[in-house]
A and B are shown apart, each in its own frame.
Chain A
Amino acid sequence: MNLEYGPEYEDFRAEVIDFCMEYEGISFENTSSKNISRSEWQKILIEKGFIARAIPKEYGGFGGETDIIKSRIIATELSKAKIPGGMGGQGIDMLVPTLLEWGTEEQKQHYIQPTLHGEMIWCQGYSEPNAGSDLASLQTKGELKDGNWVINGQKIWTSTAQYSQMMFCLVRTEPQAPKHSGISFILIPMDTPGIEIRPLVDMTLNAGFNEVFFTDVTVPEGNIVGKRGDGWSVANSVLGHERGSLADPNATMNRLNTLINMMKEETIDGRRLIDIPSYRDRLMQVQGKVMANQAHSLRLLSSKINPGQNVKLGGMIQKLVGTELRHEMEALAIDVLGEIGTLYEETPRLKENGSFQFHYMYFLGLIIGGGTNQIQKNIISERGLGMPKEPKVQEAS
């Protein structure tokens, strides 16, 4: 066991801390004196190599080596200093790695740089009303006519569709092939005629998702990534990445500290909430889980830099455990606040901007999204514990 990163990395940490001090108080709000646009900030972070680190310079990245420890140091120090990190989203987190692996040179040149710089926003067109957990049964149809893909069908749960310039979309192009090998990965400009976006309001009352309808949407043949019928493999090469990122340990620790501080400030009959034994015991239970999770993320980090350390099962549980823990933590905050905990939106006596209720619901969304936690349990038991798959049913009644 050795928890030191070594002098080279401590030097790097010092460099990151200096950077954080230089940009202390930076904000995307117009009202702030240290106002900066998101895409300007994005460029500064790329130039420092704090994000897009391993993406070649010619595509707008930093052009360095992947360094997991440096990434971890950057995330930790930015989070400590409350300095915003780089932009995320489907384009940067999922499409860019996909194009690097599967895209043509022309596609890489055309799409990666504007995506990294936050100038091209992407949405993901995967799920359909009848293809949720069973994603590979998707039916949105793509036909090749006169050198163009003509697309008809419907997508759902499409985050940020209303702000996006582009969609990466799974489309059935080979209706005769078995379901997993009849899908293609196609890039669609969102201003193409025939696309209709309808917002879908979720339980947090945000329109976090949309339904997207396609009627004879026509895009050039060259907008396919990979070959015809390769779409399932193209999509799956980065899906694991999304699952791992749904419950960031730094964010979890910050939320625990918010909860603890709230329990020290709020009172019942003049008694601090943290002084009430039953509340305190629940807090300690959640803290134990958070500590286990923090330690586990160190173990996973270690396995990435020490080949031979096998933590295969450990990686598979992240989405399940991380999202359930956050949901439980926010639920505790609501319970200890009692009636006050039910306040939401614009109202007197609201605590922490209503973020406890928001995250309580939002994380229920994440428990369901990104592969439901029941699907996660199938993956853990089948791929992690070697248990058999459910026998296939010929035709559902």
Chain B
Amino acid sequence: MYFGLSEEQNQFQDYVKKFLSDNVSVDEIRKIANGDDQKLHEDIKSGLMNLGLSSLLIPENYGGLGGDLLSAVSIAQGLGTGVGPISFAGSYVMAPIALSLGGNDDQKDKYLPKIASNEIKFGVGLSEYVAAREDSGIELNKGKASGKALFVIDGDDADFFILSDKGGTMFIVDKNEKGLEIIQLTTVDKTRLYLELNLKNVKAEVLQETENNPFVIQKVIDAGRIILSADSIGASETMIEKAVSYAKERKQFNRVIGSFQAVKHMCAEMAADLEPCYAMLWQAAHSFDHDPDEARLQACQAKSHISEVAKMVSKKATEVHGGMGFTDLLGLHYWFKRIGLNRQILGGPELVREEAAELQGFNQ
């Protein structure tokens, strides 16, 4: 019996953490967020992609590493620690899973090897299936898609998009297809880009195994929720580390503020609530890989609980920093905002808790 990340998974995570701490300081994050340095952003993306992120979840017979979701979780935690300004959940977790489970052999042959080799990139937009806001929603009719998709994940530089209709049938749209309008949405977290897609009779390539089979889209959403939770755990971990080390240095009343119990207790509360989240996250990923009966409930509950804990951490860690925590200069807000964004994507806490209740037959 061994409960936790393997040595290999820990190492992989450490590479990602090290790359981000060596190459992506707060100044660099700020430049990327403000769109001031395209070359820097490209260098960081390719540096991280060189670690093999794009091939992680692609099956071995399609040129990938054939990793499981727990391995992807170990990477996502690492990316979260440094607010990694790259695509991951959509392009390299949800898309490979959607294609592997939902595509026919031709579709797998066509796309999977090229994702692994980083020749093509996918964005993923499933918010309408989770909860359609405003005028969003897509209808599929004889191979053509019309409507709007909001909050498409990892849409920047995407060559293709995986979208779905309200029934959970998933399909691929080429970014160059006629009738597709791409609109950039600006969220609080400018380190990752989200899109709105406007489709007018756009040619859609349906993922055949997803027709009348919501199992696939649910699996893809579970994976997305687990990965976003991992990202928030990583971000929370860094916020606690920064709060603790600031509290050990900053002096007031001739003492370091970390010697005041008011401050220490905030740090202890953050650590105490975050610590069980690691195990919850890993168990959810493990169930995704090996225990389908438990997987959906655990994914929902992990998304809900970790979002709540991360929100608390993001607030208290900022408070420990006092006025400096509120400034752009310190840049702590990038982690705060990442946590705030992850919380809402693919269903906020109340929505996923309601889903968790439904799964257990609690609301009749």
Contacts and interface: CB of A to CB of B under 8 A. Distances in A.
A58 to B, nearest CB: 32
Given A374-B265, A378-B264, A1 B278 contact: no
A387 B259 contact: yes
A76 to B, nearest CB: 13
Contacts of A4: 1
B277 interface: yes
B2 A291 contact: no
A274 interface: yes
B298 interface: yes
B261 A390 contact: yes
A378 B261 contact: yes
Interface string A1-30: 111111000000000000000000000000
A281 B271 contact: no
A274 B271 contact: no
Given A2-B2, A389-B259, A296 B271 contact: no
Given A1-B3, A302-B3, A313-B271, A388 B258 contact: yes
B267 A385 contact: yes
How large, as a class, is the contact surface on chain A? 35 or more
B51 interface: no
A368 interface: no
Nearest to A1: B286
A385 to B, nearest CB: 5
Interface in B62-84: 70
Nearest to A288: B305
Contacts of B272: 317, 320-321, 377, 380
A contact patch SS:
helix
B312 interface: no
Contact of A298 (B258, B283, B356): B283
A287 interface: yes
B27 interface: no
Contact of A288 (B256, B260, B268, B304): B304
Contacts of B258: 381, 387-388
Contacts of B350: 281
Interface in A266-298: 272, 274-275, 277, 280-281, 283-285, 287-289, 291-293, 295-296, 298
A309 B283 CA distance: 16
Contact of A295 (B5, B70, B265, B280): B280
Given A2-B1, A391-B259, A291 B264 contact: no
Contact of B278 (A275, A299, A321, A374): A299
A306 interface: yes
A55 B295 CA distance: 41
Contact of B301 (A277, A288, A385): A288
B271 A317 contact: yes
B70 A1 contact: yes
Given A288-B304, A381-B268, A3 B363 contact: no
A251 interface: no
B255 interface: yes
Contacts, number: 161
B6 interface: yes
Nearest to B364: A275
Contacts of A299: 3-4, 278-279, 282
Given A1-B286, A377-B268, A388-B256, A295 B279 contact: yes
Nearest to A314: B275
A384 B275 CA distance: 11
Contacts of A119: none
Contact of A1 (B6, B265, B277, B364): B6
B250 interface: no
Given A281-B353, A299-B4, A377 B269 contact: yes
A276 to B, nearest CB: 9
A301 B1 contact: yes
A220 B256 CA distance: 50
A386 interface: yes
Interface string A363-384: 0000000000010111011101
Q: Which residue, B6, B268, B269, B298, has most C-beta atoms of chain A within 10 A?
A: B268
B275 A317 contact: yes
Nearest to A325: B276
Given A4-B1, A280-B362, A380-B271, A387 B264 contact: yes
Nearest to A302: B3
Q: Which 4 A-B pairs have the closest CB atoms?
A: A288-B305, A302-B3, A295-B279, A296-B276
Interface of B: 1-6, 70, 240, 244, 247-248, 255-256, 258-261, 264-265, 267-269, 271-273, 275-280, 282-283, 286, 298, 301-302, 304-305, 308, 350, 353-354, 356-357, 362-364
23 contacts: A1-B5, A6-B1, A272-B364, A275-B362, A275-B364, A280-B357, A281-B353, A284-B353, A285-B304, A285-B305, A287-B301, A288-B356, A291-B298, A292-B305, A296-B275, A296-B278, A313-B275, A377-B272, A378-B261, A380-B271, A387-B259, A387-B267, A389-B259
Interface of A: 1-6, 69, 260, 272, 274-275, 277, 280-281, 283-285, 287-289, 291-293, 295-296, 298-299, 301-303, 305-306, 309, 313-314, 317, 320-321, 374, 376-378, 380-382, 384-391
Given A2-B1, A291-B283, 17 more contacts: A1-B282, A280-B362, A291-B305, A292-B276, A295-B283, A301-B3, A302-B3, A302-B4, A309-B2, A317-B275, A380-B268, A380-B271, A381-B264, A381-B265, A381-B268, A385-B267, A386-B244
